[in-house]
Amino acid sequence: MRTMAKYDQPVYPEARPKAQLPPLAWPAWLVKCDGADLQTRRGVDRFKLSYLSAEYDCVADRSRIQAFYADLLAANGYTVTAQTPAVLPRDGTAIVEGARYFGDRLGPRFVVRVELTPAAGEFHVELRITARP
């Protein structure tokens, strides 16, 4: 009976060290759809996650703006994780979202979210990059 006692002890998986996020900084390639630089601001959201954001107005077509940001994210190592389909009505908010993972897909990452809101013949574009540990 004594030889079975070792099986009565709990076994825990080995803890793998989590990848570390680099410091949150606005990437130079994340620009307006005409290529101009953006004024950014720093914040903390309701989940206590740090973010950087910027916003501007653009008169380009919604599908062109979405394609620009989807291509920009993909070209810079981000996986596009969400995008509003082109068939949805143009009078609602559209998004493009991408993530860059540091380690596995459940681990730390930067998430870039672009929201396009129609406003008087143009689109109000809000960009946010969030550090998610």
Note the Cα 122 to chain centre separation in Å.
Answer: 24
* Residue 132: C-alpha distances to residues 39, 56, 85 (Å): 22, 24, 26
For every one of its 133 residues, what pLDDT tens digit does the chain have, with 9 covering 90 and above?
A: 556 677 777 777 776 666 788 999 999 999 999 999 999 999 999 999 999 999 999 999 999 999 999 999 999 999 999 999 988 887 889 999 999 999 888 889 999 999 999 998 899 999 999 999 8
Radius of gyration (Cα) for the chain, nearest Å? 21
pLDDT for residue 15 = 67
Give per-residue pLDDT as tens, 17-53. Answer: 667 889 999 999 999 999 999 999 999 999 999 999 9
What is the value of pTM for the model shown? 0.84
Give 89's Cβ-side CA count (13 Å radius).
3
Domains of the chain by start residue, with CATH: 42-133 (3.30.310.10)
